[in-house]
C-alpha cells in the first residue's frame, strides 16, 4: 500500500492528511487557538513553596503560576503500568517539599493538566518524552510495561530487549501498541527518543527560565513521532520553513528518510491538488455513498456512534443474499475509513443489513477486522450480537473532527431539527388563546420567518383567532421556530408576556 502524508501549513491551522493508495484515511488538525499545552516541557522558576500544602507554585511563563505537588516529584508510581517495583508516598511526608525546592530555584517540569478557570496548570516533575511504542524517562532507571499486555511471555521478551539496549539511567514505558513489535522497532524507537532528549538537554542548558522547552502538540513533533516512519513512502509539505524544520528533525532521527520528503511550491492549494479538500467537505454529511450505489449513515451522540447500512440504488445481479453481502462488505471497508478519518471513539454500533448465512456474516466481520489493522488507535471488533449488531470500541486519542470544526447549532439546540412551519403556526394559535382574556379585540402584528408566512398563506385555518385585527408579516432575520407579537396600537412587544 502506497502511503503519503500531505501537510498544509496555515496561519490559523495546520493540517496533516494521510493518504493510502490516494485515498484520504486520516486527518490531523491543529488550530492556532486550540492552546493545548498538556505534555509541554518547561524550564520554570519556583515562586512559592508551601509545606503545609505539600506543594509549590512554579512560574513557567504562562498567565498564572502552575501547581506542583510533592507526590509528582518523589514517586516512580505510574498508573496502568507495571514496573520492577513501586515507591509509595506517605501523605505526611509531603511537607518535605521544602527540602527539595527553594524560591528562585530553576526546575524542569511538564504539564500534567491544563489551566481551568482561575486555576493554573498542574505540573509533574516526572519528565517523559513520548514515542509511538515507548515513553522515554531521562531521569529514571526502571522498565514499565502496560498492564494491557497480558502475556507473561511477551512481557519477558520486551523486558529482555529493552534491558539490553537502554542506558542504566534511563526509564522506559512500553505502551500497549508495543505488544508484538520486533526488536528492530524497539531499537529504532529508543534511539530516536534518546536523540530527542540530547537535543532538549542542549536547549535546557542554553535557555533562560521561564520558557517552553518542548511542545507536545507541536505539528512537527506529531508528524515525525506519530506519523512519519519507514512505512510512509512520501511526505509533501507546502511551507518552506516548516519543510526545513522537519528535514532537520528527520536528520537527527533517521537520515535515510530525508529523500522521501518534498516541498510543494505550486500555486494551486496543496489539498486541492491532491483532491483532499473535496473529501473533507463530505465529512460534514451523515450519509456517505458507496461505489455500488448503497450508502451508510453515521449519527453520533454523547453515549455512542450508530452506523446504519442501506442498499440504496444497488439492486445486484444475483440473488438477494449476494446483493446484501456485497453491500455489507463494501460498507465494512468504508466504515473503518470514516471512523479513522472522523476520529470516532468510544462505542460504535454498526447495523449491517441482515444476512441469513453464517458464512456471510463471518466474511463481513473478517473484512471489518482486517481494515482496522491499519488503525493507529487501539480498537476491538466484537462478533454479531443477538440483534444482528456489531459493537466496536476504539480508544480516544484526540478530539474528533466534528468537535474540531463544528459548534452546536444555536437554532436547533444540537438536535439537528427545528420546529416545523405548521407547528410554529399552531404554537402561535395557542399563544393567542392564552392571551385572549387580556387583549381581546386589540390589534396585533405577528412577525414570522418567511417559510412560516408561506405556510400560513397556504393554510390560514391553522390560526383560528377570536380577533379579526391580526396581521402576519415576514421577518427575514427570525429563526424558523421563533415569532414576535406586537401590540399594534402601542407598538409594544408582548411575545414573552403570554408565553407558558
Q: Is 391 exposed, middle or buried (0-12, 13-18, 19+ CB in 10 A)?
A: middle
Query: In terms of domains, do 73 and 140 share one?
Result: yes
* Per-residue pLDDT at 312: 80
* Per-residue pLDDT at 84: 47
Query: In terms of domains, do 68 and 198 share one?
Result: yes
What is the pLDDT confidence band of residue 468, given thresholds at 50, 70 and 90? low
pLDDT, tens digit, for every residue of 39-76? 889 999 999 998 888 889 999 988 889 989 888 875 54
pLDDT at 317 over 70: no
pLDDT at 406 over 80: no
The reply to whether 412 falls in a domain is no
Query: In terms of domains, do 14 and 53 share one?
Result: no
Mean pLDDT of 201-210: 88
The reply to whether 436 falls in a domain is yes
Number of domains making up the chain: 4
* Per-residue pLDDT at 340: 93
Q: Kindly report the CATH number assigned to the domain that includes residue 271.
A: 3.30.420.60
The reply to whether 414 falls in a domain is no
How far is Cα 86 from Cα 106, in angstroms, rounded to an integer? 28
* Per-residue pLDDT at 42: 92
**Which domain range does residue 309 map to?**
285-405
The reply to whether 307 falls in a domain is yes
**How far is C-alpha 280 from the geometric centre of its chain's CA atoms?**
15
**Contact by Cβ (8 Å): 296, 334:** yes
Mean pLDDT of 119-131: 85
Query: In terms of domains, do 325 and 178 share one?
Result: no
pLDDT at 372 over 90: yes
**Contact by Cβ (8 Å): 203, 213:** yes
Dihedral of CA atoms 423, 425, 427, 432 in degrees, nearest 10, equals -170
pLDDT, tens digit, for every residue of 451-462? 999 988 887 877
Query: In terms of domains, do 297 and 173 share one?
Result: no
Query: In terms of domains, do 256 and 130 share one?
Result: no
The reply to whether 415 falls in a domain is no
If you average pLDDT over each of 111-125, 304-318, 374-388, which comes out highest?
A: 374-388
Mean pLDDT, rounded, of the chain: 85
Lowest model confidence (mean pLDDT) among 154-158, 382-386, 463-467, 487-491:
463-467
Look at the alpha carbons of 445, 446, 449, 450 in this order and tell me if their dihedral is positive or negative: negative
pLDDT at 338 over 50: yes
pLDDT, tens digit, for every residue of 246-303? 898 788 667 888 999 999 999 899 999 999 998 988 888 889 999 888 899 999 887 8
Look at the alpha carbons of 432, 435, 441, 446 in this order and tell me if their dihedral is positive or negative: negative
The reply to whether 416 falls in a domain is no
Q: Kindly report the CATH number assigned to the domain that includes residue 124.
A: 2.40.50.140
| Maximal C-alpha separation, the chain | 93
Query: In terms of domains, do 205 and 351 share one?
Result: no
The residue among 254, 277, 300 that closes a domain is: 277
Query: In terms of domains, do 270 and 328 share one?
Result: no
What is the pLDDT confidence band of residue 86, given thresholds at 50, 70 and 90? very low
How far is Cα 165 from Cα 47, in angstroms, rounded to an integer? 39
* Per-residue pLDDT at 466: 62
Query: In terms of domains, do 51 and 68 share one?
Result: yes
Query: In terms of domains, do 59 and 193 share one?
Result: yes
Position with higher pLDDT, 219 vs 104: 104
The reply to whether 118 falls in a domain is yes
What is the pLDDT confidence band of residue 397, given thresholds at 50, 70 and 90? low
Please give the order of strands across the beta sheet that includes 261-263.
23-31, 13-20, 3-9, 234-237, 261-263
The reply to whether 411 falls in a domain is no
**Cell of residue 402, nine digits:** 466534528
Position with higher pLDDT, 436 vs 452: 452
Phi-psi bin for 493: left (phi > 0), alpha (psi -120 to 50), beta? Answer: beta
The residue among 381, 405, 429 that closes a domain is: 405
How far is Cα 402 from Cα 211, in angstroms, rounded to an integer? 33
Going by the DSSP 8-state scheme, the letter that residue 39 receives in this structure is T
Query: In terms of domains, do 170 and 260 share one?
Result: no
The residue among 379, 405, 431 that closes a domain is: 405
Position with higher pLDDT, 231 vs 145: 145
* Per-residue pLDDT at 335: 96
Going by the DSSP 8-state scheme, the letter that residue 232 receives in this structure is -
Query: In terms of domains, do 51 and 200 share one?
Result: yes
- What is the pTM for the complete model shown? 0.65
Amino acid at each position: 500500500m502506497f502511503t503519503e502524508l500531505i501537510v498544509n501549513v496555515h496561519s490559523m491551522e495546520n493540517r496533516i492528511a494521510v493518504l493510502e493508495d490516494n485515498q484520504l484515511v486520516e486527518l490531523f488538525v491543529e488550530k492556532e487557538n486550540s492552546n493545548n499545552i498538556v505534555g509541554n516541557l518547561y524550564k520554570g522558576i519556583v515562586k512559592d513553596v508551601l509545606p503545609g500544602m505539600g506543594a509549590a507554585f512554579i512560574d513557567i511563563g504562562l498567565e498564572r503560576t502552575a501547581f506542583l505537588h510533592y507526590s509528582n516529584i518523589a514517586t516512580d508510581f505510574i498508573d496502568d503500568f507495571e514496573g520492577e517495583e513501586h515507591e509509595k508516598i506517605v501523605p505526611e511526608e509531603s511537607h518535605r517539599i521544602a527540602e527539595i525546592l527553594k524560591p528562585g530555584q530553576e526546575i524542569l517540569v511538564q504539564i500534567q493538566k491544563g489551566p481551568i478557570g482561575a486555576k493554573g496548570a498542574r505540573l509533574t516533575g516526572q519528565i517523559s518524552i513520548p514515542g509511538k511504542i515507548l515513553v522515554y524517562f531521562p531521569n529514571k532507571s526502571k522498565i514499565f510495561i502496560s498492564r494491557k499486555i497480558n502475556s507473561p511471555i511477551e512481557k519477558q521478551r520486551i523486558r529482555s530487549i529493552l534491558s539490553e539496549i537502554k542506558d542504566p539511567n534511563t526509564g522506559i514505558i512500553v505502551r500497549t501498541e508495543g505488544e508484538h513489535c520486533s526488536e528492530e522497532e524497539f531499537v529504532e524507537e529508543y534511539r530516536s527518543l534518546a536523540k530527542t532528549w540530547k537535543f532538549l538537554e542542549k536547549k535546557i542548558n542554553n535557555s533562560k527560565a521561564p520558557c517552553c522547552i518542548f511542545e507536545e502538540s507541536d505539528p512537527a513533533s506529531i508528524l515525525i513521532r506519530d506519523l512519519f516512519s519507514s512505512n510512509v513512502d512520501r511526505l509533501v509539505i507546502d511551507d518552506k520553513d516548516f519543510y526545513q524544520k522537519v528535514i532537520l528533525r528527520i536528520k537527527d532521527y533517521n537520515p535515510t528518510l530525508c529523500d522521501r520528503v518534498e516541498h510543494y511550491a505550486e500555486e494551486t492549494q496543496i489539498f486541492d491538488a491532491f483532491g483532499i479538500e473535496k473529501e473533507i467537505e463530505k465529512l460534514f454529511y451523515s450519509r456517505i455513498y458507496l461505489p455500488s450505489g448503497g450508502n451508510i449513515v453515521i449519527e453520533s451522540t454523547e453515549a455512542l456512534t450508530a452506523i446504519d447500512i442501506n442498499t440504496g440504488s444497488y439492486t445486484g445481479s444475483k440473488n438477494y443474499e449476494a446483493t446484501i453481502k456485497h453491500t455489507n462488505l463494501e460498507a465494512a471497508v468504508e466504515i473503518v475509513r470514516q471512523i479513522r478519518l472522523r476520529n470516532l471513539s468510544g462505542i460504535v454500533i454498526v447495523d449491517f443489513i441482515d444476512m441469513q448465512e453464517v458464512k456471510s456474516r463471518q466474511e463481513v466481520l473478517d473484512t471489518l477486522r482486517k481494515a482496522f489493522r491499519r488503525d493507529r488507535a487501539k480498537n476491538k471488533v466484537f462478533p454479531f450480537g443477538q440483534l444482528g449488531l456489531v459493537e466496536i470500541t476504539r480508544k480516544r486519542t484526540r478530539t474528533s473532527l466534528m468537535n474540531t470544526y463544528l459548534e452546536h447549532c444555536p437554532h436547533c439546540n444540537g438536535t439537528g431539527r427545528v420546529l416545523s412551519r405548521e407547528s410554529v403556526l399552531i404554537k402561535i394559535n395557542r399563544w393567542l388563546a392564552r392571551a385572549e382574556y387580556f387583549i381581546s379585540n386589540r390589534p396585533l402584528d405577528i412577525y414570522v420567518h418567511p417559510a412560516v408566512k408561506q405556510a400560513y398563506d397556504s393554510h390560514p385555518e391553522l390560526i383560528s383567532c377570536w380577533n379579526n385585527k391580526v396581521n402576519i408579516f415576514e421577518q427575514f432575520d427570525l429563526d424558523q421556530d421563533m415569532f414576535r407579537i406586537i401590540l399594534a396600537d402601542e407598538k409594544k412587544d408582548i411575545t414573552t408576556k403570554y408565553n407558558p
